[in-house]
Amino acid sequence: MIHLVWYKRDLRTHDHRPLVEAARRGTVLPLYVIEEAYWRLTDTSLRQWAFIAECLRELDAELGRLGQRLVLRRGSVTDVLDVLHRRHRIAGLYSHEETGNAWTYERDQAVGAWARQHGVPWQEYPQSGVVRRLKTRDAWARHWERRMAEPLLPPPEHISGVGENIGDRNWLTAPRGFDRSPCPLRQPGGREAGVALLESFLSRRGERYRSDISSPLTAARSGSRLSPYLAHGAVGLREVVQATRLRLSRLRGPADGAWRKSLASFQSRLYWHCHFIQKLEDQPEIEFRNLHRGYDALREGDFDPDLFDAWRMGRTGLPFVDACMRMLWQEGWINFRMRAMLVSFASYHLWLHWREPGLHLARLFVDYEPGIHYNQLQMQSGTTGINTNRIYNPVKQSLEQDPSGEFIRRWVPELGSIPDGRIHEPWLLTAEEQRGLGVVIGRDYPAPVIDHLEAARAARKRLRGFRQGRSDLRVESRSIQARHGSRRQRGRFRAANG
Ligand SMILES: Cc1cc2nc3c(=O)[nH]c(=O)nc-3n(C[C@H](O)[C@H](O)[C@H](O)COP(=O)(O)OP(=O)(O)OC[C@H]3O[C@@H](n4cnc5c(N)ncnc54)[C@H](O)[C@@H]3O)c2cc1C
């Protein structure tokens, strides 16, 4: 008889209730299944897998120290459970609750049906502030506080293992058939790297968090960079919240003002993390459909594949937009403001529906977290009905966030010779100036695919026209606000734009 711990997006032994509960009851089999069908989806990619594989290697070593290495299998989870049940008899299945995409939801349904059919009790434990089968958002903030205040669980001192083949470690190199674009500057996977980032953020890097997170030049250093570790569970959210609170409680000196403000802003993001995932938990359709169905006809009819390709490949002719996209290709991460600008540019200037751009970004993000991702996509493209629409001006962002053009030069080297003052709008250089600088727009770097001021004006006009006389839009917005809106008092955790 075994107690089976099914690892998913929780690749750690610390603060891991399924592992602790299984170990208390007897022999433990910790399992990770490489699900090839998942890795063939259009929102998954090799870079995410490579990060996970590094987390799995560390987890395997850690579990080995506790007494039982990680058992690795390939295929469908229910097939794997079948074999293991026949061989060992599974007395209980233990895992964390997951709010993933539609595919993982259906997979979980199949596992639930399998467990019922075989009389195997399946215990699922929450690992964040997300509440299953939530009736109302009214008391949600209190739920979140309670969860985050629960004491952290240390790993079990020892787990009694089981005589089972641990599986072929070569499998960790790559399942087949998914997006394989290289990501040479990706963050390394594994808990150790995540814990080191948390420590350096709270002790050194985080002081200027608040002022630095808008620019891609400074956010890379002053942001926590914890997103992929949180998304794949190498570090738990509760650990991060508690470490932050401990640090805040020690910041009492007169010189600690910047630190206190920065960590307060950081805490808000940790709250938003769950706030957004809760929305997908409550309304999974938003992976595919507009949160506000009244906006269904807004962009559904128009999709220009050439504009999409230019955006996707970092060849729109707007240097700052292209630099952001090219950084994402190489690093698998970019800061919040730039993600928002990329989506705003795709949605408003290029008038593309969020779904295809969203899948492209999901693949590029090592930290792809469906609950945050689909909500943010919809917020930034104006289809939630409860958020202020923001059309970012890509040249203004460029001037504000990268005044000297350092970021553009790093990622769009073909513009390297253009002086600071002109690099944000190189199309304004005369033909003679271009020749003098050795960069011909339209030959060495694309001419802008749209006139960005004209495109923003047209987008505003279309939006106004779409909304005109539609009182039904407001009615629906109120009901969305009642269902999903934050009830958090402004000031404590400032509302996450909805
Ligand atoms: C269009 C779009 C798509 C996004 N997709 C994802 C995604 O797939 N996965 C993801 O983790 N984040 C996503 N974000 C949110 C945000 O951009 C990243 O969490 C952040 O840039 C990660 O860097 P960091 O860890 O240094 O963040 P920090 O600023 O240090 O924040 C700490 C943590 O708080 C959470 N967080 C931060 N900002 C937000 C936010 N606005 N909403 C919800 N949670 C937040 C993340 O878990 C993050 O790791 C998206 C934002 C936009 C605009």
Q: pLDDT (tens digit, 9 = 90+) per residue, 285-305?
A: 999 999 889 899 899 888 999
pLDDT tens readout for residues 21-57: 999 999 999 999 999 999 999 999 999 999 999 999 9
**Predicted pLDDT at 171:** 77
- Distance from Cα 364 to the centre of ligand 1, integer Å: 14
What would the two tokens of residue 342 be?
């990329």
- Distance from Cα 6 to the centre of ligand 1, integer Å: 26
**Predicted pLDDT at 498:** 37
CB 408 within 8 A of CB 420: no
User: Using the 8-state DSSP alphabet, how is residue 178 labeled?
Assistant: S
Rg of the Cα atoms in the chain = 24
- Distance from Cα 216 to the centre of ligand 1, integer Å: 13
What would the two tokens of residue 328 be?
């994402």
Q: Which atom of ligand 1 is nearest to the CA of 231?
A: 11
Q: How far apart are CA 364 and CA 353, in angstroms?
A: 18
Sheet strand arrangement including 71-74: 71-74, 28-34, 2-7, 90-96, 122-125
- Distance from Cα 366 to the centre of ligand 1, integer Å: 11
User: Which residue's CA is the nearest one to ligand 1's atom 53?
Assistant: 340
User: Which residue's CA is the nearest one to ligand 1's atom 43?
Assistant: 273
Query: 6: part of which helix (H) or strand (E)?
Result: strand 2-7
Give the global pTM. 0.96
- Distance from Cα 468 to the centre of ligand 1, integer Å: 34
User: Which residue's CA is the nearest one to ligand 1's atom 17?
Assistant: 336
Q: Which atom of ligand 1 is nearest to the CA of 270?
A: 34
User: Which residue's CA is the nearest one to ligand 1's atom 46?
Assistant: 227
CB 246 within 8 A of CB 199: no
Q: How far apart are CA 381 and CA 341, in angstroms?
A: 10
Q: Which atom of ligand 1 is nearest to the CA of 343?
A: 1
- Distance from Cα 209 to the centre of ligand 1, integer Å: 14
Ligand 1 pocket mutation, candidates 372, 374, 390, criterion most atoms within 8 A of CB: 372
Question: For residue 248, how far is the Cα from the chain centroid?
Answer: 26
Query: Does pLDDT of 496 surpass 50?
Result: no
Ligand 1 pocket mutation, candidates 367, 375, 387, 392, criterion most atoms within 8 A of CB: 367
pLDDT tens readout for residues 165-192: 999 888 777 776 667 788 999 999 999 9
User: Which residue's CA is the nearest one to ligand 1's atom 18?
Assistant: 336
What would the two tokens of residue 69 be?
């290495």
- Distance from Cα 441 to the centre of ligand 1, integer Å: 35
Ligand 1 pocket mutation, candidates 197, 227, 241, 271, criterion most atoms within 8 A of CB: 227
- Distance from Cα 70 to the centre of ligand 1, integer Å: 30
Q: Which residues contact 471 (CB under 8 A, 6 or more apart)?
A: none
43 burial via Cβ count (<10 Å: 0-12, 13-18, 19+): buried
Please state the rounded mean pLDDT for residues 351-375: 97
Q: Which atom of ligand 1 is nearest to the CA of 219?
A: 26
Residue 371 phi, psi (nearest 5): -65, -40
- Distance from Cα 460 to the centre of ligand 1, integer Å: 27
- Distance from Cα 378 to the centre of ligand 1, integer Å: 15
pLDDT tens readout for residues 459-491: 999 999 988 888 888 888 888 888 888 776 544
Q: How far apart are CA 282 and CA 132, in angstroms?
A: 8
CA distance readout (Å), 422 to 419, 438, 442, 448, 452: 6, 14, 16, 14, 16
**Predicted pLDDT at 181:** 85
User: Which residue's CA is the nearest one to ligand 1's atom 49?
Assistant: 227
- Report DSSP letters for 241-279, one per residue: HHHHHHHHHT--SGGGHHHHHHHHHHHHHHHHHHHHHHH
What would the two tokens of residue 70 be?
């990680």
CB 132 within 8 A of CB 123: no
More confident residue, 178 or 401: 401
User: Which residue's CA is the nearest one to ligand 1's atom 31?
Assistant: 269
Query: Does pLDDT of 320 surpass 80?
Result: yes
- Distance from Cα 351 to the centre of ligand 1, integer Å: 24
Give the rounded percent of residues in the chain with a pLDDT score beyond 70: 97
Query: Does pLDDT of 412 surpass 80?
Result: yes
Query: Does pLDDT of 249 surpass 80?
Result: yes
User: Which residue's CA is the nearest one to ligand 1's atom 24?
Assistant: 225
Strand, helix or coil for residue 95:
strand
Strand, helix or coil for residue 323:
helix
**Predicted pLDDT at 256:** 94
- Distance from Cα 226 to the centre of ligand 1, integer Å: 9
**Predicted pLDDT at 473:** 87
**Predicted pLDDT at 489:** 55
More confident residue, 138 or 108: 108
Handedness of CA 457, 458, 459, 464 (dihedral sign): positive
User: Which residue's CA is the nearest one to ligand 1's atom 8?
Assistant: 368
Count the neighbouring beta carbons within 10 Å of the beta carbon of residue 355. 19
Ligand 1 pocket, Cβ-based, cut-off 6 angstroms: 213, 223-227, 230-231, 266, 269-270, 272-273, 276, 335-336, 339-340, 343, 365, 367-369, 372-373, 376-377, 380, 496
The overall average pLDDT reported for the chain is 94
End-to-end CA distance of the chain: 48
Question: For residue 221, how far is the Cα from the chain centroid?
Answer: 18
User: Which residue's CA is the nearest one to ligand 1's atom 12?
Assistant: 372
Assign 222 a pLDDT band (cuts: 50, 70, 90). Answer: very high
Ligand 1 pocket mutation, candidates 229, 376, 384, criterion most atoms within 8 A of CB: 376
Q: Which atom of ligand 1 is nearest to the CA of 230?
A: 47
